[in-house]
Amino acid sequence: MDFRLTHEQEQIRDMVREFAESELKPHINEWDEAQHFPVDTFKKAGELGLLGVIFPEEYGGTAQSYVDYVNVIEELAAVESGFALSVAAHNSLGTGHIYLAGNEEQKKKWLPKLTSGEWIGAWGLTEPGSGSDASGMRTTAVKDGDEWVLNGTKNFITNATYADISVVLTVTDRNDQKHGITAFAVEMDRKGIRAGKKENKLGMRVSDTAELVMEDCRVPEGNILGRIGYGFIDAMKVLDGGRISIAALSLGVARGAYDAARNYAKQRTAFGKPIAEFQAIQFMLADMATEIDAARLLTMRAATVKDAGERVTQFSAMAKLYASEVAVRCTEKGVQIFGGYGFIKEFPAEKYYRDVKLCTIGEGTSEIQRMVIARNLLAEG
Ligand SMILES: Cc1cc2nc3c(=O)[nH]c(=O)nc-3n(C[C@H](O)[C@H](O)[C@H](O)COP(=O)(O)OP(=O)(O)OC[C@H]3O[C@@H](n4cnc5c(N)ncnc54)[C@H](O)[C@@H]3O)c2cc1C
């Protein structure tokens, strides 16, 4: 096992680091305060290939590996995790579902627009009444002649306000427990679909989160993604990959919080010496660094298994569960090390602390990850 990045991987990491430092860092407080999603900067990320990281060149992607994708998301998240969340939702959820389940015609039509950043993608599974229990969704798609008529509301949808196309999961046969859900790709300029209420959030405030409302939205048969009745099965596969990106996001935030705390501890003095000389502070930094490294190993294992084309459900759930909970612990320690300044918005610690909580919730809560892991463990012979 070689844990080092290749020269090319280091170059990609450095390019993203430079983008985050120059394009994101100067604006984070202003954007966070205003809950502003910087569309133009998002498009710039597209020009750099960051919106098509994991897709083949024939669809306009940069054909990188999941290991590269982890590096991209980590670097963005270490600086602006809300922006990283939007990049992750665009790549592995919206665009990822079309790539996974779309036919050749659909991929040729939509993927180049998404991978270049000309279009922004969203993915709607969650509804007001069903999150963890996603199969309990109420949005329906009913066939009417050559078209399907979609009705329902998705909520907490990343990028919904700015999306040009959204993948939505709908009930097509309520009586079929296994094959009753179908995915549609819906262009947002179609009549009957619109973004609804934008959420006012604790953290990840730079990422747009809004409802997706469908009222008699008519879409042609050609917008069905994959086989009728296989939408939920495909959605679970999409989440297998997506959860690796949430693990990467967690790594980025945890590392950002650690770096800030370490630097602060070396500068801040109390009782006549830098607080970094107190063992209590040193032990917090040691625990943070150790747990971040352990989380990185789990995340890279999941990415490597995904790159090998093997089943990754258990590994991605383990990486997402562990990395997100580590990140919550690290950001809490980060605030503690900053003392009173950890509570003040001009210092970086409090934003990491607010932003990271989403990582234990989005794309399946920690409880759901434990259920997925246990189910897989118990299914082993
Ligand atoms: C900022 C943000 C962005 C998001 N982006 C998207 C997106 O782009 N697309 C999308 O589809 N969704 C998105 N989501 C939704 C997210 O995936 C859900 O919020 C999440 O899956 C949890 O669902 P819920 O909120 O309905 O909580 P619930 O399912 O109501 O859970 C409430 C609590 O009950 C627990 N619980 C539920 N069932 C069980 C069980 N069987 N055993 C033990 N405990 C259980 C949960 O772990 C949790 O602690 C986003 C959410 C947020 C906050």
Phi and psi, residue 199, nearest 5°: -80, 145
Strand 147-158 and strand 209-220: the pairing is antiparallel
Chain segment 287-314, per-residue pLDDT in tens:
999 999 999 999 999 999 999 999 999 9
In the predicted structure, residue 87 carries a pLDDT above the cut 80? yes
How many CA within 13 A on the CB side of residue 329?
16
Mutual angle of helices 81-88 and 349-356, in 10-degree steps: 30
Q: What mean pLDDT do residues 340-344 have?
A: 98
Could you tell me the pLDDT band of residue 88, with boundaries at 50, 70 and 90? very high
Chain segment 354-371, per-residue pLDDT in tens:
999 999 999 999 999 999
Nearest to 12 by CA among 53, 59, 56: 53
Give the pLDDT confidence score for residue 3 in this predicted structure: 80
Q: What mean pLDDT do residues 82-95 have?
A: 98
Q: What mean pLDDT do residues 109-125 have?
A: 98
Residues 6+ apart with CB under 8 A from 40: none
Cα 38 off chain centre by:
17
Chain segment 119-155, per-residue pLDDT in tens:
999 999 999 999 999 999 999 999 999 999 999 999 9
Ligand 1 atom at minimum distance from 361 CA:
20
Could you tell me the pLDDT band of residue 2, with boundaries at 50, 70 and 90? confident
SS3 238: helix
Ligand 1 atom at minimum distance from 154 CA:
11
Let me know if 123 is exposed, middle or buried by CB neighbors in 10 A (0-12, 13-18, 19+): buried
Share of the chain above pLDDT 90, in %: 98
Q: What mean pLDDT do residues 269-291 have?
A: 98
Give the pLDDT confidence score for residue 177 in this predicted structure: 86
Give the pLDDT confidence score for residue 380 in this predicted structure: 79
Distance CA 190, CA 170 (A): 17
Residues known to be catalytic:
363
SS3 214: strand
Chain segment 5-48, per-residue pLDDT in tens:
899 999 999 999 999 999 999 999 999 999 999 999 999 999 99
Q: 206 with 31: CB under 8 angstroms?
A: yes
Q: What mean pLDDT do residues 310-331 have?
A: 98
Q: List, in sequence order, the alpha helices (H) in 117-230.
A: none
Task: Name residues contacting ligand 1 (CB within 6 A).
Answer: 89, 93, 123-126, 131-132, 156-158, 201, 204, 209, 358, 361-365, 367-368
Distance CA 117, CA 44 (A): 8
239 Cα to the center of ligand 1, angstroms? 13
Share of the chain above pLDDT 70, in %: 100
